[in-house]
Copies of this chain bind each other. A is one copy, B any other.
């Protein structure tokens, strides 16, 4: 079925282009069909409905987002603490830039989640697995002192909720959020790591994060400011 697979891909490519340019609601099946040089009816041989095209695109987006985060893991040799911090900061930066440069992606995600609630649950679960792996490593190496890894993973994930799609909660700038997250991670790290000879666990430093590639804006990629500021 390589033939129908490439056709299916053509539809996805066309849809991603139109969804990110004009948004999901303003994109019609007829337009997608025309882009793929086929009839509207034929789309339905590959997708059960319009929403399913969006689901597939969102699913891939979510997977590649986790891959970006995971890329931090198999980098050079680092402490578990560094890994954990870099993953959390990467999450903040990735989702922040996503919302800033590709607002249509959020719209798409919200539409998908609104009638596929399971989608969000699974995305969050995938993300937690990354956290859990780091906690396990740190526990094994003795760097962390955690008596219940699964529960602590959930706690860690929950405590950093504000820094996933942060613009949904606040209109702070990325720099402000990074400073704040550093303080959150300081407290958490002191909660995870054993105190050695009375020396306090040092504060979290904001990672440089130059090893993570920023997301390019779809069309006019001239605005690279990191400040938000919705309303007065």
A interface with B by C-beta (< 8 Å) = 117, 145, 147-148, 151-152, 154-156, 158-162, 169, 171, 180-181, 183-184, 186-192, 194-195, 200, 230-232
Contacts and interface: CB of A to CB of B under 8 A. Distances in A.
The 10 A-B pairs with the shortest beta carbon distances in the complex, nearest first, are A191-B191, A190-B191, A155-B183, A187-B191, A159-B159, A161-B162, A155-B184, A151-B183, A158-B162, A195-B195
B159 A184 contact: yes
Q: Is the interface of A mostly helix, strand, loop or mixed?
A: helix
Contacts of A187: 152, 155-156, 159, 188, 191-192
Given A117-B232, A191-B192, 9 more contacts: A117-B171, A117-B231, A151-B183, A152-B187, A155-B183, A156-B187, A158-B181, A159-B159, A162-B162
Contact of A191 (B151, B154, B188): B188
Contacts of A152: 183, 187
A162 B163 CA distance: 11
A161 B169 contact: yes
Contact of A155 (B145, B186, B200, B230): B186
Contacts of A230: 117
Contacts of A184: 155, 158-159
Given A190-B191, A195-B195, A230-B117, A145 B200 contact: yes
B183 A154 contact: yes
